Amino acid sequence: MIKILKIILLLLFAPAVLYGTSVDEVITIETKNTVMIFTGHPGEKFLFQFYGDKVNDVSQVIRSASGMNEEAYPAFGIECSKEKALQVTHPDGNMSADLFFKSVEKIKIDDNISLTKVVLFDNAYAFQVTVNYKTYFQEDIVEIWTDILNEGTGPVTLFKFASCYIPVRSFDPWLTHFHGAWGDEFNLIEEKLERGVKVIKNRTGIRNTQCDNPSFMLSLDGKSTEENGDIIAGSLEWTGNYKISFDMDEKYKVNIISGINEDASQYILERGNVFHTPKFILTYSNKGKGLASRNIHRWAREYKIKDGTSERMILLNSWEGVYFDITEDKILKMMDDFAKLGGELFVMDDGWFGDKYPRNDGTSSLGDWIVSPQKLPNGLDPLIKRAEENGLKFGIWLEPEMICDKSELFEQHPDWIVHQPNRTTLKGRGKSEMLLDMSNPVVQDFVYHVVHDLLVKYPKIAYIKWDANHFISNYGSTFLDQDKQSHLYIEYHLGLQKTWERILASHPDIVMQASSSGGGRVTYGHLQYFHEFWTSDNTDALSRLNIQWGTSHFFPANAMASHVSASPNHQTNREIPLKFRFDVAMTGRLGMEMRPDDLTPEEQNFAKGAIETYKSIRSIVQQGDLYRIIAPNDGCGIASLMYVSPEKDRGVFFAFSLSNNLRYKLPPIKLQGLSPNMKYKIAEINNTGIGSKLSAYNEIFTGEFLMNTGIQISMNKVCQSIVVELVEVP
């Protein structure tokens, strides 16, 4: 009788048992300071429980019932009301998936990296999802992605395919994300999450970070600061359209769903095939945004950015110096002048190519990657030779994915473009620019050869600025099958990535910059192929402070191209002193974007000194830990940040005055990231020789004093700036 009662009870409460706290299998994904906890049991649901600070005894999370107890990768079809991670239609028209835990496998990759693979299955269909969790222990980073396998009777259609799904509970969640436009990228927005769905997404197809970025920080206990707040930070490693949703319900629960944007992208997965979703990185910080950024920067330099731990060269890019007006004389002169300033790499930007149609402006020539005989009658050889004589490396600008209607390439291959055959193709820049269809292997091969052939012909080319100034306007591919037109947004990028891989395999030493109308390609999807990104076409130093501030939340200084340009600035017309321009550029990967002979002899002298100074602090800026101290939009008229070497024996502090404070004495600025017990000698560097603005010159202080009390600086006029070097002394 009791047995029968038990069975009745079990049947009555079956769903509760299924979704309940069965702790037979507790799966932990651990890093040095964080843990992600799941529960699962073969044949039952795989449940997400917790992500946060390391818990000594993880069973506490289960016993206290504080875990989330939520499906870790929920699919549409059962309980349909909520946003899900996956949506699939099977060959028989069934639109549901119901996934259960099958197995877990832990693989140790090396002392720092481990991979946990959790296999989920559907008991009605031969359909399987593997959720992968790759941990970088020291950096507190988890990379999450899924492999979706169709072993059924025919093709399935994926309508939604998130990389990662994380549920959290919070009384007062605040979301930090980034919004911008051309010339004004990466503005930080911090807003309270309210009930409903907040979405960050992109659908340009190509230039995916000009307006938003697939990166966020979610503060779980109210608005966070640089040093305080429990934060989940995440960023998607994908070069195309993305979508990150924050679905908040009335019960203090926020589901974070992130991955490729599925809009107009349903994907037919043939029988026997696997769809790999892009990786999504997560870190958890219990010490505010600053720590979250530093975790990501460290991981990025060590594991993601191309050659992320190598020193970056100081370069001069020709764009704002001569624009399209390239001649041999002008290029040689710029190289000679830059070499005298101590530069290391010269990059010839747009305007050097095109035979039948020389590239004089944006209206022609993309696709015709031949040196213009009109502009450079002696070819590239004399330029490369002069660079070498000057001790400079030589780099060149390319926009290989694009084509102009006025080009020999278009005359030969009008069918290679992304277009709809029965409609007029909308053109971009110069009313001429269109997009090559990178889903087509023939086009991929062409693009590969654009780069490969150039590098074979000119093996001394050391650097490529890879631009992409168009987007998908007329969505359509004459290469893809009719029923797979919706694959274009994705196949374009798989084709592009394959091409980059092929280029890098043939030319492993080439250094590449991702540019896209300025900062349109700033993601870890790109940075696994690129050494750096062009941060913005806006080179005004005051604007850059804000743009670089936002960018620094996810991307480290060694990848952030930051150039000194002419005054008045070409984008804003604002006049800014050279020192300020240099100091701002020195907080990232320093470069120049002007003709050095536009500087007066005194200014050239200063530039030479500044370049030398940057060389002496480059390792700290490029490989050190970033501490953001005062935000440019804090309203106090000052912006300030510093870098500290990993050993904490050296640091470099920057402060910028953003307004006139004529009658005020500034409060001391508290430094961060130093060792309290070490002693540091502080000295102003990169000064103009007209008197220090640091009150204590060459004095020695403890790290504790510098962090608790701070340093006294005086800056009372807009566009003054100061750089202070800290060196440990015994």
Instruction: By CB under 6 A, name the binding residues for ligand GLA.
Output: 319, 349-350, 397, 467, 469, 515, 517-518, 534, 537
Q: Which is nearer to ligand GLA, 247 or 349 (CB)?
A: 349
Q: Which is nearer to ligand GLA, 275 or 530 (CB)?
A: 530
Q: Give the end-to-end CA distance of the chain in Å, rounded to a whole number.
A: 81
**Cβ 336 to ligand GLA shortest distance, Å:** 22
Q: Which is nearer to ligand GLA, 146 or 548 (CB)?
A: 548
- Distance separating alpha carbons of residues 259 and 342, to the nearest angstrom: 44
**Cβ 319 to ligand GLA shortest distance, Å:** 5
Q: Which is nearer to ligand GLA, 569 or 657 (CB)?
A: 569
**Cβ 226 to ligand GLA shortest distance, Å:** 30
**Cβ 468 to ligand GLA shortest distance, Å:** 9
Strand-pair partners of 315: 345, 591
Strand, helix or coil for residue 534: strand
**Cβ 519 to ligand GLA shortest distance, Å:** 8
**Cβ 55 to ligand GLA shortest distance, Å:** 47
Which two three-digit tokens encode residue 485? 């037109």
Q: Which is nearer to ligand GLA, 50 or 466 (CB)?
A: 466
Determine the Cα angle at 541 with ends 393 and 468, to 5°.
55
Neighbours of 501 (CB within 10 A): 13
- Distance separating alpha carbons of residues 612 and 112, to the nearest angstrom: 36
Contact between 343 and 463 (Cβ < 8 Å):
no
Q: Which is nearer to ligand GLA, 435 or 631 (CB)?
A: 435
**Cβ 493 to ligand GLA shortest distance, Å:** 20
Q: Which is nearer to ligand GLA, 515 or 562 (CB)?
A: 515
**Cβ 537 to ligand GLA shortest distance, Å:** 5
The amino acid at 290: G
The amino acid at 169: R
Q: Which is nearer to ligand GLA, 261 or 515 (CB)?
A: 515
DSSP helix, strand, coil percent of the chain (3-state; round to 5):
25, 30, 45
Q: Which is nearer to ligand GLA, 167 or 591 (CB)?
A: 591
CA 25 to chain centre: 36
Strand-pair partners of 99: 122
- What is the phi/psi pair of residue 130, to 5°? -105, 125
Show Cβ contacts of residue 625 under 8 Å, excluding neighbours closer than 6 positions.
294, 297, 298, 643, 644, 645, 646, 673
Contact between 71 and 41 (Cβ < 8 Å):
no
Contact between 714 and 701 (Cβ < 8 Å):
no
Q: Which is nearer to ligand GLA, 395 or 577 (CB)?
A: 395
**Cβ 565 to ligand GLA shortest distance, Å:** 11
Q: Which is nearer to ligand GLA, 240 or 520 (CB)?
A: 520
Neighbours of 458 (CB within 10 A): 17
CA 97 to chain centre: 33
Contact between 63 and 55 (Cβ < 8 Å):
no
**Cβ 437 to ligand GLA shortest distance, Å:** 21
Q: How many CA atoms lie within 13 A of 352 on its CB side?
A: 22
Q: Which is nearer to ligand GLA, 293 or 517 (CB)?
A: 517
**Cβ 395 to ligand GLA shortest distance, Å:** 12
Q: Which is nearer to ligand GLA, 417 or 514 (CB)?
A: 514
**Cβ 27 to ligand GLA shortest distance, Å:** 45
CA-nearest of 683, 617, 623, 671 to 647 is 623
**Cβ 402 to ligand GLA shortest distance, Å:** 10
Beta strands in 14-138 (DSSP E): 26-30, 34-39, 47-53, 70-71, 86-89, 99-108, 113-122, 127-136
Position of minimal CB gap to ligand GLA = 350
Q: Which is nearer to ligand GLA, 439 or 571 (CB)?
A: 571
Contact between 48 and 70 (Cβ < 8 Å):
yes
**Cβ 641 to ligand GLA shortest distance, Å:** 25
Show Cβ contacts of residue 689 under 8 Å, excluding neighbours closer than 6 positions.
none
Q: Which is nearer to ligand GLA, 303 or 319 (CB)?
A: 319
Q: Which is nearer to ligand GLA, 143 or 320 (CB)?
A: 320
The amino acid at 411: E
Show Cβ contacts of residue 370 under 8 Å, excluding neighbours closer than 6 positions.
353, 354, 355
Q: Rounded to whole angstroms, what are the CA distances from 387 to 60, 331, 374, 566, 644?
A: 64, 10, 21, 23, 34
Helix (H), strand (E), coil (C) string for 376-388: CCCCCHHHHHHHH
**Cβ 430 to ligand GLA shortest distance, Å:** 10
Q: Which is nearer to ligand GLA, 90 or 589 (CB)?
A: 589
- Distance separating alpha carbons of residues 90 and 426, to the nearest angstrom: 36
**Cβ 381 to ligand GLA shortest distance, Å:** 23
Show Cβ contacts of residue 274 under 8 Å, excluding neighbours closer than 6 positions.
147, 148, 149, 150
Beta strands in 123-173 (DSSP E): 127-136, 141-150, 156-169
- Distance separating alpha carbons of residues 350 and 392, to the nearest angstrom: 19
**Cβ 323 to ligand GLA shortest distance, Å:** 8
- Helical pair 541-551 and 578-585, crossing angle rounded to 10 deg: 10
Which two three-digit tokens encode residue 363? 């209206």
Q: Is 481 exposed, middle or buried (0-12, 13-18, 19+ CB in 10 A)?
A: exposed
